[in-house]
Structure formats: structure tokens, C-alpha cells
Structure 1
Amino acid sequence: MPARDSVTVFIDADNTLWDTDGVFAAAQIDMLAEVGDQLGAAVPEDDPLTFVRAVDQAIAERHQDGLRYPPVLLVRGLEKALSGTAPDAAARAAMRGRHEYRIAQGEAEATATRFQAALSATPALRPGVRDGLEAMLRGGARLLVISEASRGRVEKTAASHEILHFFERVLEGKKSAALYRRMLALTHAGGRTFMVGDQINRDIEPASAAGLKTIYYPGGFQPRWSLAQGTIEPDHVISDFSEVADIVVSTRVAAA
């Protein structure tokens, strides 16, 4: 069992260890271009990603599965948006599904399938990850991943970047204060504990409620509803993952 003066660091995976959002962004831009080609419509050139995500978030806010909604809905929403419909109205039209669409159903589903295939690309590590993990291990910290993504996918991505060996365990679950408390008990984390994540409402707030010190590493994309919901300030905010080691190791030394 870990000593009472040990340091345990729980780390989110997607958009904290690696840039999952970059993979989604590339796939969404490709979908927009494909829908534009199918319609013979001009695609915004100045900021195509913002155009897509206005529709994407409007659909996610209405769908029971949030951002995990079926991607064919985004095809339909973009079709309406490229025809001049405002994002919220385009989302409503896609959700209702009772419209005469210009893109045939089979073509829309094929576009959605290609989008899903593009999401299988391996995301790049975020800045400072390898150096930060190495420094924390040298400083004696225990490292664990806690993610809402499937453990198998997280382990596969970590292994592809040759960083899986840094972690004592990979834990999977829907994040809440209760989950963090269970994870603390499960891992016998008896000393100082930290949570590193990219979302205030999914990583920082529940971890703080469970008594962990929090380190916020903002990702490239924050859903507009998560920004509105954040009410707890993180203990630390970083711009490079290597800074986590400075916080964790200095805390350990100060307490020694």
C-alpha cells in the first residue's frame, strides 16, 4: 500500500494526453467539404471549422447522447446550413428528419461512415506529455489514467505512443465526485492526490469535490455549455503538460 506521503496523479486521456480534438477537427472539415461537393455549394474558406461546430454543438445540445449523436445528423445539419439555414434551425431540421433533402440517404450515410473511419486516426501527443510523465516518475509519483473513453481504446493509443508503461492503471468510468472517491479507495491513494484534465465540468469540478487538487490543461475545443457551467476554479492552470511535473514534484518536496 502506498505511503501516506506518496503522490498520486490521475490524468484524463482525450485532449489532455493527446489531441483527440485535432482528429475530430480534420474529420469535420473533410465532411463539410464533401457535403459542399455533393450540393455544389460554396464552403466557407475563412473558418470552416467554426461553421461546422456551430451546427455540431446545436445538434449535441438537443440530442440525448450529446456529442456522441449519430454523425449522419451532422451531414443533414450541414446540408441545411450550406443552403443558408442558421445553425440552430439547421440542427432542428436534422433532428426532426422530416425534410426533403438534396443528398440521398445512401450518400449521407456513406459520408457519415467515412467520417467515423477518419476518427480512427491516432491523435498526436499534446506538448510536454512525454517529458512530464518521465519527470513525475523520476519524482516518485504514481500515475493513473481516468477516462470516460473505453479502456481498450485508451490503452491502444497510449501503447502506440509508447507511453502506456508510465501508468500504473487505466481506469474507465463516467466522471463524478462519487467515481473519484471510488477510484481513491480502489487505488489506495493515501497521500496527496491530483487530477489533470482539459474540461472544467467533467474533470476539474468532480475531482475537486472529491478532495483532489486540480490541474487544468485547456484543450483546443470547449463545448459552449461546459464553459457556461464551470463554477469551480482549478488549483493550477498550465499551458504545457511538462508543467504538471513541476507542480507535483515541488509539492512532494515541500511536504517532505
Structure 2
Amino acid sequence: MMSGIERPITVFVDADNTLWDTNQVFAGAQLALLAQIEAAVGLKAAERDRLSYVRACDQAIAARHHDGLRYPPHLLLRALVFALQGETSEAAARAAWSNHLPSMLGRADEEEIVQIYFAALRAPPGLRSGVIEGLVRLEKANATVLIVTEAASARVEETATKLGLAGHFTRVIEGKKRPDLYRRVLRLSGSPAAAYMIGDQLDRDIAPAKEAGLTTIYFPGGFVPRWTPDKDKIGPDFQVSDLAEAAAIILAGEEARSDHILRA
């Protein structure tokens, strides 16, 4: 344990777009999807920012779907066909949502393109900045590091192992990121005196952890959905540019608190 730190530390950390850059995988897959559709229908997007073009349809669909950004990808494919024919992103999303197959695309072509898209999404993500350094610093301080995710825990553990993170965290917790999840985990782990949450989403990572009484550290990712609330409204305790910086904030704060207790 690092000198000066006496209290048990529990650190929750998000996985996708916090430990590794899932956004870059989706960006590559979405751009490839657009290129496949353009080739299939013989039309070309006029916009220079092709990723923003795709994501305008992406977010218009997600805003309507009960699963948000986890909607079925054939909806994005169909919306992009409508958009290439001149529809706005909102109108294209409505047309795709009606479940009508665009006349320019056959079902066999649609299925083939969707399968190519799924294959692209299986590309391994890269680690985000400072992840190894930050986790090692927390490990040396005897912190309990819990990866908390709404994705399948088996997939998260597999990705962590492939990226060399095995042994640098305590366990993976799968569940909806609600305040009760954090409270329950902390209660079962003996109610440690210090608890932190590091995440890239203000509404889904930071807000529920803050409500549960954790110290929150916002590590912005490369993609911020349009419905994300303003940062000032959520009020994370800290904002960082890499995970090593988050670890430094946690350990410096705990050392200062321990020193204050010793002097009191």
C-alpha cells in the first residue's frame, strides 16, 4: 500500500469508451456501412463529414427506440438508404422505423451488408489513454477496482483479457447503473470509507454514481449523444483527460485525507 493511505478504496470504472475506445470501432464500422450502402444503391453522400452524416441518422433512430443506441442495425441501414435519396435524418429515421424496406435495396443485399457490419463491430478496440498506468497505480494502493457495465460481463472480461488488463482489476459487475447498484455493491463489500466512479457518460455513469454518494470522475469519450445533459447540470467532481490522471486524483485525495486525520 502507498504510504499515507489508510482507508479502503473502492473504484468503479466503466468499460466501453472508458477503459477502451469502443467509439473508434463503431466509427470504422459505420463508415464502412455507408460505403457498402452507397455501392449497393449507386448513390453517394454529398456531405464531407461522413461520420456525422451517419450519426445524424443513428441518433435520430436511437431517440425513438426503447433500447436507445442498441437498436437493430438494419434500421440504420434503411435510414441511410432513405437519406441518400434526399430525406433528412429525421425523416429517414421515421421511414426506417416504419419497417419498410427501401425500394432500392433487396432483402438479400440488406442481410449481407448487416452481416459485414456485425463483423466490423467485432474488431478489437484500443485502450484509452493512461489505462494501464492508472490501474497499476490503483492496484499498488490496494484499491478494489470494479469494472461496472451494462454489457455482458463475459464479453467485457474477454475484451479486458485481450487488451492485457487481466489481473489489474478485482471483478466485473454487470447491471443497470442505478444508484442502488452502487449502494448494494458497497454494502456487500463492507462499506468502504472511500468510493469513486470513473466513466465517460454523464447521464449513465456519473449521475447515478453521484446520487449514490460516490466521488465522480468524468473521462469524456469521443462520442457524446445529442441527448446528453449539460455537464454543469450533472456536476462531476472531477474531469480528466486520461485514466492515469483519475488514479492520481484518487490517491492524492486519499493521502491528503489520511494526513489530515493523523494531524487532527
**Which of 132, 151, 161 is the aligned partner of 1:130?**
132
The answer (yes or no) to whether the contact 1:205–1:232 under 8 Å persists in 2 is: yes
2:255 is the counterpart of 1:253: yes
Distance 1:53-1:183 versus aligned 2 partners, 3 A rule: same
Give the deviation of 1:230 after TM superposition.
7.5
Rounded Cα–Cα distance in structure 2 between residues aligned with 1:98 and 1:198: 35
Distance 1:32 1:187, change over 3 A: same
Q: Is residue 174 from structure 1 mapped to residue 176 from structure 2 by the alignment?
A: yes
Residue 58 of structure 1: aligned partner: 60
| Alpha-carbon distance, 1:63 to partner | 1.3
Aligned positions, number: 254
Written as runs of structure 1 = structure 2, the 5 A alignment for 1:84-123 is: 84-98=86-100, 100-123=102-125
- The answer to whether residue 141 in structure 2 is matched with residue 147 in structure 1 is no
Mapped to 1, the partners of 2:68 and 2:30 lie a distance apart of 16
Any runs of at least 4 consecutive aligned residues in structure 1 with deviations exceeding 6 A, and if so which? none
Structure 1: tracts of 5 or more residues without a match: none
Alignment partner of 2:228: what SS?
Answer: helix
Aligned partners of 2:256, 2:56: CA distance in 1, in Å?
Answer: 46
- Asked if 1:157 is matched to 2:153, the reply is no
Q: What is the root-mean-square deviation of aligned Cα atoms in Å?
A: 1.7
1:68-114 deviations in Å (ceiling 9; x for gaps): 11101111000000111000000000000236520101211211111
- SS of corresponding position for 2:233: coil
**Given the alignment of the two structures, is residue 183 of structure 1 paired with residue 211 of structure 2, yes or no?**
no
Amino acid at match of 1:82: L
Alpha-carbon distance between aligned partners in 1 of 2:83 and 2:232, rounded to the nearest angstrom: 30
TM-score by length of 1: 0.95
- TM-superposed CA distance for 1:117, in Å, is 1.5
Q: CA deviation at 1:45?
A: 5.9
Match of 1:12 in 2: 14
Counterpart in the other structure of 1:197: 199
Determine the C-alpha separation between the residues in 2 that align with 1:100 and 1:90: 10
What's the secondary structure of 1:225's corresponding residue?
coil
The Cα shift of 1:229 comes to 9.1
User: What is the distance in 1 between the residues matched to 2:53 and 2:207?
Assistant: 30
**216, 219, 224: which one pairs with 2:218?**
216
What is the TM-score normalised by the length of structure 2?
0.92
Q: For residues 45-82 of structure 1, give each alpha carbon's deviation from its aligned partner in whole angstroms, at most 9, with x where no partner exists.
A: 62110000000000111112211111011110000001
Find 1:243's aligned residue among 232, 242, 245: 245
Instruction: Give the SS at the match of 2:82.
Output: helix
Q: Which amino acid aligns with 1:219?
A: G
SS in 2 for 1:144: strand
Does the residue aligned with 2:224 lie in a helix, a strand or coil?
coil
Q: Distance in 2 between matches of 1:243 and 1:224?
A: 27
Deviation readout 1:139-159 (Å, 9 max, x if unpaired): 232211011111101100100
SS of the counterpart of 2:210?
helix
Q: Distance in 1 between matches of 2:236 and 2:211?
A: 11
Q: Is the 8 A contact 2:78 2:101 kept in 1?
A: no
Mapped to 1, the partners of 2:29 and 2:141 lie a distance apart of 39
Q: Which residue of 2 aligns with 1:34?
A: 36
